[in-house]
Amino acid sequence: MDTHYDIIPLEEVTSTQDEARARPQPVLVVAARQSAGRGRSGRPWWNAPRALAASFRWTPSWPVEAWSRITLVAGLAAHGVLDCSLKWPNDLVMEGRKVGGILTETDGSSVVCGLGVNLWWPEPPEQSGGVFESDPGPDAALGLAIRWVDELLRRLDEGPERWGIDEYRATCTTIGKAVNWSPDGTGQAVGVDELGRLLVSVAGQLVALSSGEVHVVSEA
């Protein structure tokens, strides 16, 4: 791993994704709070009392056609740092509750990969939670973000065929579950293929779902 990147710690931003996109790359933007953070498909992202918002912008060495797998690699990097499980394609979960997520955006020449994590949330909404049982303090976010980016880059250095697909399958909670997806799909998740697509059995036939084409996958 020989990528050197600037680190920009901020107290509050509108969106770390937008802030990273506005700065020269490679750059990591880390903030304690976002006033207009967003999740996948433009959905709003709610901040816990102690949260981590980080966005890393760079140009991957992978072929552009393989960039769609970066969300899964970023999730696996988060698993390595936070010891969380993964729900395909971009949710981070612990004990059945969502504690964070990955948002990957590209303009064709660079990638902005975002990590949002609820570090501590004493009274979370239903089905949400925090990583830590007690407040880890204001300095925890930056260290975790740097470890995440370094792990992401380490895995990317292995190339688009060796980034850890077997590890991803082992920690993906979606596999083996009945799933629904928009607009009206339903089936049994049976695996994740080498391209990062979710494999679903539908009426005895195997269907491959791409995260770029399917907006919502929920476990039934």
What is the pLDDT averaged over residues 36-60? 79
pLDDT of residue 108: 84
Range of the domain at 181: 175-219
Query: How does residue 220 score in pLDDT terms, banded at 50, 70 and 90?
Result: low
Q: Which of 131, 146, 169 is the last residue of a domain?
A: 169
In a domain, 36, yes or no: yes
Q: Residues 181, 207: one domain?
A: yes
In a domain, 53, yes or no: yes
Tens of pLDDT, residues 171-207: 999 999 999 988 788 999 999 999 999 999 999 999 9
What tokens were used for 208?
């491959």
* Nearby residues of 193 by Cβ (< 8 Å), 6 or more positions away: 199, 208
Q: What is the DSSP letter of 121?
A: -
Cis peptide before 125 (omega within 30 of 0): no
- In this prediction the pTM is 0.92
Query: How does residue 42 score in pLDDT terms, banded at 50, 70 and 90?
Result: low
In a domain, 129, yes or no: yes
Q: Residues 208, 180: one domain?
A: yes
Q: Residues 128, 20: one domain?
A: yes
pLDDT of residue 219: 73
pLDDT of residue 80: 97
Strand-by-strand arrangement of the 6-13 sheet: 6-13, 27-34, 50-58, 111-120, 97-106, 91-94, 85-87
Q: Which residues, listed in sequence order, are joined to residue 103 by a DSSP beta bridge?
A: 114
15 pLDDT exceeds 60? Answer: yes
